[in-house]
Amino acid sequence: MENLSQKYVNKQGINEGRIVLHSDLNNFFASVECKKRPELKGLPVAVCGSREDRHGIVLAKNELAKKCGVKTAEAIWQAKLKCPSLVIVPPNYDEYVRYSRMVKEIYYSYTDLIEGFGMDEAWIELTGDRKVKTLEQGACIADEIRKRVKKETGLTVSVGVSDNKIFAKLASDYKKPDAVTVFGPHNYDEVVKKLDVGELLFVGRSTRAKLHLYGINTIGELVGTNGFFMKSMLGKNGESLYRDACGANSAKVSRWGESDEAKSIGNSVTLPRDLDNIDEVHSVFCALAEKVAYRLRSAGFAAKTVCISVRSTGLVTTEKQMHVELTSNAVEIADAATRLYIENYNVNKPVRSVGIRTTNLISKNIGVQLELFDKSYLKREKLAKIDNTVDEIRGRYGVDSITHVSAMKVDVIRHNATSFAHGF
């Protein structure tokens, strides 16, 4: 196979002339909480998905908590051992959506080629802008965006600049917080090739471990193989990974609001440690469901089927699915996911990663017509109002002042699943 990396360095036609940014809001959930509540300034803060210290996990943390060693997905009690002064706050997803939209409006002032990657990340393509012809000029725009986000929202953002989506994302991860980094042919050999192969997008823990077994520890060592070898090791994904490492990814940045007819919308996570009880799994499902629900609503869809994927510690992945009433509600999606998990898996065995995917999508326009005859729509609106009220009360009186209904439903679902298993 042709030496793609050499072609990249010599600018022999691989994405030459493209200017792609990747913007990543730093410690997004925790940063929004600190912005909303000035009294948290100067304190280590963690956003956590449960009222119970025993089973709750850290969903996000600010820089001060990070410096104390607090990690995403660890139990709250573990985080507090590392950082006794850690302030625990509940998630407020409505606020996160609001801030996400504010930031995207800033991006819109430069281009409509904006492809969201969750609430806190987005690719921005400037290719074709008469004022932006080089990566250096792209970096100037990236710095403008960085400064505007800080001034207009109070949040910080790290922006990567490259001629392809993979390296733009790699660059935004390279230096945080509040930074602009350029990855291109000029620093490919000196910087990019020396990075751990696990830094590449879509290289999860198991893929990284497999690559390490073959002595492939850095991006440069991956580039030193070839597409045929990678395909033999990892299948079609291996060949794509090789091209990505060589700077040959040519995927386009979608125009915001424009997409192919979506077949599914989902999200998954591989956590720093195994999940070993149902409460932790439920907390993760709640976090994933919020992102999935947000993406459904943003794309103008509701779903009729919820699927979960579960990877065991033996790295075996299985999927289960169930039909639900038409929904784009996070609570309903999380409850369906938890029910699927309890009914189909041994909840006492640890799992490595979990994911939620929604399918059988119905466009928003059709959904509005259905909702005229669907009384469950009123229930979902009530759920949204309850969530807002709960977050306001917690914000005033503390995280333990009120119990969120979703945190109580694990026992209900477990009971129902047991009854189901016995034929009741």
Closest residue by Cα to residue 233 from 220, 221, 242: 242
Give residues with Cβ within 8 angstroms of 274, minimum separation 6.
313, 350, 351, 352
The edge-to-edge listing of strands for the beta sheet with 317-327 is: 264-275, 351-363, 301-312, 317-327
Q: Is the separation of the CB atoms in 362 and 301 below 8 Å?
A: yes
DSSP H stretches of helix in 110-235: 135-153, 165-174, 205-213, 219-223, 227-234
280 noted as active-site residue: no
Please list, residue by residue across 247-263, b when 16 or more beta carbons sit within 10 angstroms of its beta carbon and e when fewer do.
bbbeeebeebeeeeebe
Roughly how many angstroms between the first and final C-alpha of the chain, as a whole number? 61
Q: Is the separation of the CB atoms in 103 and 153 below 8 Å?
A: yes
Give residues with Cβ within 8 angstroms of 217, minimum separation 6.
196, 197, 211
Catalytic residue among 33, 63, 74, 121: 121
> Hey, which residues are catalytic here?
121
